Structure 1
Amino acid sequence: MSFKIAIIGAGSVGFTKKLFTDILCVPEFRDIEFALTDINEHNLQMIKPILDKIVESNRLPTRVTATTNRREALTSARYIISCVRVGGLEAYADDIRIPLKYGIDQCVGDTICAGGILYGQRNIPVILDFCKDIREVAEPGAKFLNYANPMAMNTWAAIEYGKVDTVGLCHGVQHGAEQIADVLGAKSRSDLDYICSGINHQTWFIDLRLHGRKIGKDELVAAFEAHPVFSQQEKLRIDVLKRFGVYSTESNGHLSEYLPWYRKRPEEITRWIDMSDWIHGETGGYLRHSTETRNWFETEFPQFLASAEKPIDPSKRSNEHASHILEALETNRVYRGHFNVKNNGVITNLPADAIIESPGFVDRFGINMVSGITIPEACAATCIASINVQRMSVHAAISGDLDLLKLAVLHDPLVGAISTPEEVWQMVDEMVVAQAGWLPQYADAIPAAKERLAKSTVKTRDWAGAARRNVRSIDELRAEKAALKQAV
């Protein structure tokens, strides 16, 4: 087989390498072309030699190109994968820093809440530019695989306004299933069968079976509470499991910021999170992790390049969906996964226009979703609250309506649990002014926002958050990795 895959945001070095090697684990895909594109020439010059080394070491005919010209990369592409982070770490820092001034403490801030909503405002105009290029220069019928957050908003915009065949992909379901298999003592992940359904980052394991035996709430709670690690790292998720009756796919830290109950007061945050790793609830945890990862790649680049000489091992193919979807579409080997698509009745008690995440099967006919799923009422209520925020956020990003953007933030569950309307109005003004360079749709509204900020009487505070850690230096990271290696 010979076709072209374009990867937008290919400067995400580690993730791009993973997708690349996964795809090349499919024997039929050895003779394809990868077109890498990124606005950052430096990042492209880091990833291309790594992928070239993989191709050379494995003696493959695979072709790899790299360019900052996106339309060139997308020309004649059959599949387009997006891994972009619009605004980079600079804008992301504002997504965390500014809400903290108003008492809003986020762990990740890339899905909803104040940070995720503004992230969507930066992403959506760019996503629509991608879609325009795909329609105009990609292979007819090209498929857009979106990995970028905020997943639901980006996918919603691409489908509804970009008019491109789009699927959103995330690994939260797989990671949640790995945890459940672990606590239940499964010898292999294949021993566990499950149906997981909801919306991205709020997906719920509504049916669990181990060796065909149905697993109920009480058994799962007992298994998690008895686990020496997860009982401490996932306290919030276990509490939600007890109250809702089903386990959430998303990490302790992520889930905490989608709900109005666990991060509304500093003392509550420290009660429910765990500081052993960023993902369990640390203030700005993913921002710290991303900053450290970037610094690590920059410093340790020769080491990453050397590791690319290893042979591709199909047994180590990851559970990221992309390679499995492409394999199913091209070879008709059926793949079952969980995908982000427009609802249209797939989940009976969520809105038809929402982007849901639910089971589907892929073959040469496309992605075929399992329809008619009904999720528990409490799960639906939680999802609908987020969907309403996502809908307003997408519409605001498309129209450049600053008042609608403020209403979207006001209706966010965690923001609403903490902030007054006056605080929300000022916070959004402050965020759009700080990020004006990435928000072209709000250009006409920025001058008035600056004037309001100059006259504002709403008080803010200088607060690092309830559980903040400093970014570690390269030397500290090296020492930690060496200690872990010695311990093993």
Structure 2
Amino acid sequence: MSFKIAIIGAGSVGFTKKLFTDILCVPEFKDIEFALTDVSEHNLQMIKAILDRIVEANRLPTRVTATTDRRKALEGARYVISCVRVGGLEAYADDIRIPLKYGIDQCVGDTICAGGILYGQRNIPVILDFCKDMREVAETNVKFLNYANPMAMNTWAAIEYGKVDTVGLCHGVQHGAEQIAEVLGAKSTQELDYVCSGINHQTWFIGLRLNGRSIGKDELVAAFEAHPVYSRQEKLRIDVLKRFGVYSTESNGHLSEYLPWYRKRPDEITRWIDMSDWIHGETGGYLRYSTETRNWFETEYPQFLEAASKPIDREKRSNEHASHILEALETNRVYRGHFNVKNNGVITNLPQDAIIESPGFVDRFGINMAAGITLPEACAATCIASINVQRMSVHAAISGDIDLLKLAVLHDPLVGAVSTPEEVWQMVDEMVVAQAAWLPQYAHAVPAARERLSTSQVKTREWAGAARRSVRSIEELRAEKAALKQAG
């Protein structure tokens, strides 16, 4: 087989390498072309050198090209994969910093809440540019695989406004299944059958069987509470399981910021989170982790390049969906996964226009979703609250309507639990002004927002959050890795 895959945001080096090696685990794909594109020439050259080393070490005919000219990369592509973060860590820092001034403490801030909504405003105009290029220069039936957050908003915009065949992909379902298998004593997830459905980062394990035996709420609660690690790291998630009756795919830290109950009081936040790793609820945890990862990669690049000289081990192919979807579409080897698509009746008690995440099967005919799923009422209610925020956020990003953007933020569950309308209006003005370089659709609104900020009487505070940690230096990271290696 010979076809072209374009990866936008390929400068996300570690993830691009994972996708690349996964795809090359499919024997029929050895003769394909990967076209890498990114706004950073520096990052492009680093990832290209790594992928070239992999190709050379495995004696493959695979072709790798790299260019900052996105349109050139998309020419003739059959598949396009997006891993972009518009605004990079600079804009992301504002997604965390500015809401903290108004009492909004986020762990990640990339899906909804104040940070996720502004992230979507930056991404959506760029996503539509991608779609325009795909319609004009890619293969006629190009498929767009979106890995970039905010997943639902990006995918919603690409389908509804970009008019490109799009599927959103995430690994939350797989990670949740791994946890459940572990607490139930299974040897692997192969022993676990499940139906997981909802929206991205709020999917729910509504059907569970271990070796054919149905697993109920009480057994699952007992298993998690007995686990020596998860009982401590996933306290909030376990509490939601007890109350809703089903387990959520999303991590303790992520889930905490989609709900209005657990992060609204600073003195309550530490009760529900765990500081052993960022993903369990640390304030701005993913921003710190991302910053440390970038710094580590820049410093340790020679070691990453050297590691690329090893042969590809097909047994270590990851459970990221992309390679499995491509394999199913091209070879007709059927793949079952969980995909982000427009609802259109798949989930009976969620809005039809929403982007849902639910089970489907892939073969040569495409992605075929399992329809007629009904969520438990509490799960549906929680999802609908987020969907309403996502819908307004997408429409605001398309229209450049700052008043609609403020209404979207106001209706966010956690924002609404913490902030007054006056605070929300000022916070959005402040974020739009700070991020104006990445928000062309709001250029007309920036002068008035800046003027309002100069005369505002709304008080803010400088607050690091309930559980903030400083970015560690390279020396500290080295020492920690050495200690872990010695202990292991």
What TM-score range do you get, normalising by the shorter chain?
over 0.9
Cα distance per residue 1:28-83 (max 9 Å; x no partner): 00000000000000100110000000000000000000000000000000000000
CA deviation profile, 1:319-371 (whole Å, cap 9, x unmatched): 00000000000000000000000000000000000000000000000000000
SS of structure 1 residue aligned to 2:482: helix
Give the equivalent residue in structure 2 for 1:271: 271
C-alpha distance in structure 2 between counterparts of 1:481 and 1:363, whole Å = 42
Residue of structure 1 equivalent to 2:317: 317
User: 2:37·2:68 contact (CA, 8 Å) conserved in 1?
Assistant: yes
Give the corresponding residue for 1:459: 459
Distance 1:127 1:276 in 2: 35
Matches within 5 A, 1:103-182: 103-182=103-182
One-letter amino acid of the counterpart of residue 10, structure 1:
A
Question: Structure 2 counterpart of 1:369, which letter?
Answer: M
3-state SS in 2 of match to 1:444: helix
> CA offsets per residue over residues 161-181 of structure 1, 9 Å max, x none?
000000000000000000000
Please tell me whether the aligned partners of residues 347 and 371 of structure 2 are also in contact (alpha carbons under 8 angstroms).
Answer: yes
Q: Secondary structure, in 3 states, of the residue corresponding to 2:225?
A: helix
Q: Which residue of 2 aligns with 1:36?
A: 36
Alignment of 1:5-154 (within 5 A): 5-154=5-154
Q: Is 2:276 the counterpart of 1:286? A: no
Task: State the identity as a percent.
Answer: 90
Alignment correspondent of 1:448: 448
Letter aligned with residue 453 of structure 1: L
Question: Which residue in 2 is equivalent to 1:385?
Answer: 385
Task: Name the residue aligned to 1:302.
Answer: 302
CA contact (8 A) 2:99 2:105 kept: yes
Query: 1:386 is matched by which residue type in structure 2?
Result: S
Q: Which secondary structure does the structure 1 equivalent of 2:444 belong to?
A: coil
- The AA in structure 2 aligned to 1:354 is A
| Counterpart amino acid of residue 167 in structure 1 | V
Unaligned runs of 5+ in 2: none
User: Aligned residue for 2:375?
Assistant: 375
For 2:35 and 2:374, locate their aligned partners in 1 and report how far apart those are by CA, in whole Å.
Answer: 40
How far apart are residue 189 of structure 1 and its match?
A: 1.2
SS at match of 1:203: strand
Contact 2:263 2:414 in 1 (8 A): yes
Q: Give the CA deviation at 1:188.
A: 1.6
SS in 1 for 2:362: strand
Task: Give 1:466 deviation, angstroms.
Answer: 0.2
Q: Secondary structure at the match of 2:203?
A: strand
Structure 1 residue 5: deviation in Å? 0.1
| Structure 2 residue 433 is matched with structure 1 residue 433 | yes
Query: How well do the aligned residues superpose, as a CA RMSD in angstroms?
Result: 0.3
Q: Deviations over 1:360-412 (max 9, x none)?
A: 00000000000000010000000000000000000000000000000000000
Do the aligned partners of 2:392 and 2:408 also contact (CA within 8 Å) in 1? Answer: yes
Deviation at 1:12, TM superposition (A): 0.3
SS of corresponding position for 1:76 = coil
Asked if the contact 2:244–2:379 (Cα under 8 Å) also holds between the matched residues in 1, the reply is yes
Amino acid at match of 2:134: I
Q: CA deviation at 1:234?
A: 0.1
1:415 alignment partner in structure 2: 415
Q: By how many angstroms is 1:154 displaced?
A: 0.0
- Per-residue deviation, 1:431: 0.1
1:361 paired residue number? 361
* Cα distance in structure 2, aligned partners of 1:269 and 1:188: 33
Tell me the distance in 2 between the aligned counterparts of 1:259 and 1:356.
18
- Name the counterpart of 1:342: 342
CA deviations 1:125-163 (Å, max 9, x no partner) are 000000000000001100000000000000000000000
Distance 1:441 1:385 in 2: 26
Give the letter for the 1:448 counterpart: A
Distance, in Å, in 1 between the alignment partners of 2:269 and 2:143 is: 41
Question: Could you report, residue by residue, the CA deviation over 1:187-235 in whole angstroms, capped at 9, with x for unpaired residues?
Answer: 1210001000000000000000000000000000000000000000000
Counterpart code for 1:126:
V
Structure 1 counterpart of 2:472, one-letter code: R
Letter in 1 for 2:478: R
Asked if the contact 2:32/2:62 (under 8 Å) is kept, the reply is yes
Q: Deviations over 1:107-129 (max 9, x none)?
A: 00000000000000000000000
Q: 1:238-249 to 2 correspondence within 5 Å?
A: 238-249=238-249
Deviation at 1:430, TM superposition (A): 0.1
Q: Any idea what SS the aligned residue of 1:241 has?
A: helix
User: TM-score, length-normalised on structure 1?
Assistant: 1.00
Query: Partners of 1:267 and 1:462 in 2: how far apart?
Result: 17
Residue 485, structure 1, aligned to residue 475, structure 2: no
1:123 counterpart SS class: helix
SS in 2 for 1:31: coil
SS in 2 for 1:15: helix
Name the CA distance, whole Å, in 2 between partners of 1:484 and 1:380: 42
What residue in structure 2 maps to residue 250 of structure 1?
A: 250
CA contact (8 A) 2:86 2:122 kept: yes
Question: Which whole-Å CA distance do the structure 2 matches of 1:462 and 1:319 have between them?
Answer: 41
Shift in Å, 1:267: 1.2
* Kept in 1: contact 2:178–2:188 (CA 8 A): no
The residue matched to 2:177 in structure 1 has which SS?
A: helix
Count, aligned residues:
488
Q: Is the 8 A contact 2:359 2:370 kept in 1?
A: yes
Task: Please report how far the alpha carbon of residue 305 of structure 1 lies from its aligned counterpart in structure 2 after TM superposition.
Answer: 0.1
For 1:45 and 1:265, locate their aligned partners in 2 and report how far apart those are by CA, in whole Å: 46
SS at the partner of 2:432? helix
Q: Is the 8 A contact 2:338 2:360 kept in 1?
A: yes
Shift of 1:470: 0.2
Equivalent position amino acid for 1:485 in 2: K
Amino acid at match of 1:82: S
Aligned to 1:247, the other structure's residue is in SS state: coil
How far does residue 268 in structure 1 lie from its aligned partner after superposition? 1.1
Which residue of structure 2 aligns with residue 212 of structure 1?
212
* Whole-Å separation in 1 of the counterparts to 2:146 and 2:280: 25
Q: Structure 1 CA distance, aligned partners of 2:248 and 2:481?
A: 30
TM-score by length of 2: 1.00
